[in-house]
């Protein structure tokens, strides 16, 4: 009976360590998906602003309702609601939206700063300047995505290996 409990404990420790490593590595995968969805949302927003010439609150709302990523939809819908209500200025509404997704951005990543800079100029400039703003933001997103994919590959696997290895070392120490 004692051996059975010992093996159950070993299985639980290894499973827990592997799961912790997997969850940590999943954060990197989620960030890559966020960046890919943000690139699509940027294209949608530019279409709303440039071709349809919708007011910014309407463009945010349309983008938020057409994007298939819950956190990004929250970013754009928060910005749309904020601009249409008490916050008034587009950059204040955008700051509220960026704050809503800040927890999904890994520490040390410049995305939040890029988003804030993008939102400050949005709606305050002419159409030609906004086109260059969208182009700059796309380049910044591409750089973030490139770094995130490399980081996902490197550190994602590292956390998976660390989780399992740490669990195995703990089992060995406890035996």
Number of structural domains the chain divides into: 1
Q: Which domain holds residue 30?
A: 2-174
Q: CA dist 31 to 21, 53, 90, 152, Å?
A: 16, 31, 25, 9
Ranking 50-54, 75-79, 116-120, 143-147 by mean pLDDT, the lowest is 50-54
| Best CA proximity match to 33, nearest among 90, 97, 81, 101 | 101
Does pLDDT of 43 surpass 70?
yes
- pTM for this prediction: 0.79
Question: CA torsion 138→140→143→145, rounded to 10°?
Answer: -60
Better-scored residue on pLDDT, 82 or 99: 99
pLDDT digits (tens, 9 = 90+) for 108-152: 889 989 998 888 887 777 778 888 899 999 999 999 999 999 988
| Predicted local confidence at residue 36, as pLDDT | 94
Residue with tokens 């740490």: 166
Ranking 46-60, 76-90, 116-130 by mean pLDDT, the lowest is 76-90
DSSP character at residue 89: S
């Amino acid at each position: 009976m004692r051996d059975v409990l010992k093996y159950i404990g070993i299985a639980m420790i290894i499973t827990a360590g592997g799961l912790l490593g997997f969850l940590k590595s999943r954060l990197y995968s989620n960030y890559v998906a966020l960046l890919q969805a943000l690139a699509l949302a940027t294209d949608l927003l530019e279409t709303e602003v440039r071709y349809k010439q919708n007011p910014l609150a309407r463009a945010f709302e349309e983008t938020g309702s057409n994007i298939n990523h819950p956190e990004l939809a929250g970013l754009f819908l928060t910005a749309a609601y904020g601009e249409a209500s008490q916050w008034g200025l587009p950059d204040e509404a955008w700051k509220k939206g960026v704050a809503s997704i800040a927890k999904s951005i890994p520490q040390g990543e410049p995305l939040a700063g890029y988003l804030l800079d993008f939102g400050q100029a949005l709606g305050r400039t002419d159409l030609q300047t906004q086109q260059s703003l969208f182009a700059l933001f796309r380049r910044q997103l591409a750089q973030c995505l490139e770094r995130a994919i490399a980081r996902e590959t490197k550190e994602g696997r590292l956390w998976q290996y660390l989780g399992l290895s740490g669990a195995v070392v703990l089992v060995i120490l406890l035996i």
